[in-house]
Homo-oligomer: A and B are copies of this chain.
Amino acid sequence: MAARTYGQYDGVSTAIELIGERWALLIVRDLLVGPRRYTDLKAGLPKIPTNILAARLKELQAGGVVRRAPIAKCGLVYQLTPYGAALEPIVLALGRWGFAALDERTDDEELTADGLTMALRSAFRPEEAAELPATDYEVRVGAVAVRVRVAEGRLRSWQLAPPAPPVGGALPAEAADLVISGGAGLRRLLSGDIRPAEAVADGALALESGDPALLERFATVFRIDPVR
C-alpha cells in the first residue's frame, strides 16, 4: 500500500495519495451530499466494482477522510469526517471546472441524484441569492429529481427520486414554486449558453409547473461561468 507512493513531501502529493485513487473522489462527492450506506454508494456509482468500493472505503477511513458509523435502527452508514468535509469547496470547484468540458450526454453516461445535487450546489451563487425572496425549485433530469430551497442566501437540498434521507432538515410538504425538467437544456442554461426563454422555446427545458418568470431567477441564482 505504501509501495505505490509518489515519493514527494508536499501537500498536493499527500492530498492525492489520500483521495487520488480511482473512484475515491466520487465517493467523497456522494458523501458530501449526506451520509450513505454501502448499498446507497453502490447504487449512486453504478459502474464501480464492489471490491473497489470496499477497498476505497477502507483507505478513506485509514486516511481519516471517512468514518463508519452504526445508524440508529439497524445498518451502518459512511460519513465524512470534519477533515473529509473540508473537501467540499475543492470538489465544488472541481465540478465547476469539469462542467466546462461537458458536452452532450451520451447514452452510456448517466446523471445520478448525488451528481445533480452537487452540480446545483456548485452552480449556486450566494451573492445573487442574498436579496431574493425564498424560493423552492424542483429539478428533474431523466429519472432523478432534486428539490432545492434558496432562502436567505443559503441553499438546502433534498432528493426526491431516488429518495434519500433529508439532509437539510425535513422535506417541505408543499409543492415547489417552480418545477423544471430536461437534460441538455439544463446544462446550457447553467453555462449561460442559452437564455431561459430560449431554452423553453427550444424544448430543451420543460416547465412542468410554476410561474415561468421564476426561471429567470433560477438562471440568476444557479450559474457556472465558463472558465476564462
Q: For the complex, is A133 an interface residue (Cβ under 8 Å from B)? A: no
Say which residue of B18, B93, B224 sits within 8 Å of A90 (CB atoms).
B93
A7 near B47: Cβ-Cβ < 8 Å? yes
- State whether A9 and B110 are in contact (beta carbons under 8 Å apart), knowing that A16-B25, A25-B20, A227-B82 are contacts in the complex: yes
Q: Tell me the complex Cα distance, A111–B14, Å.
A: 12
B86 near A227: Cβ-Cβ < 8 Å? yes
B12 near A115: Cβ-Cβ < 8 Å? yes
Q: Tell me the complex Cα distance, A26–B14, Å.
A: 11
Interface residues on A, range: 35 or more
Q: For the complex, is A150 an interface residue (Cβ under 8 Å from B)? A: no
Minimum Cβ distance to chain B for residue A120 (Å): 11
B64 near A102: Cβ-Cβ < 8 Å? no
Q: For the complex, is A211 an interface residue (Cβ under 8 Å from B)? A: no
Q: For the complex, is A108 an interface residue (Cβ under 8 Å from B)? A: yes
- State whether A29 and B12 are in contact (beta carbons under 8 Å apart), knowing that A20-B22, A97-B87 are contacts in the complex: yes
- State whether A18 and B101 are in contact (beta carbons under 8 Å apart), knowing that A9-B111, A12-B95, A95-B12 are contacts in the complex: yes
| Residues of chain A having any CB pair with chain B under 8 Å | 5-18, 20, 22-23, 25-26, 29, 45-47, 63-64, 82-83, 85-87, 89-91, 93-102, 105-106, 108-112, 115-116, 118-119, 122, 224, 227-228
Q: Taking A8-B112, A9-B105, A9-B106 as given, write out 18 further A-B residue pairs in contact, using a Cβ cutoff of 8 Å, ordered by the A residue number.
A: A5-B109, A6-B23, A6-B47, A7-B109, A8-B47, A11-B98, A11-B100, A11-B118, A12-B95, A12-B98, A12-B115, A14-B99, A15-B94, A15-B95, A16-B25, A20-B25, A63-B101, A86-B97
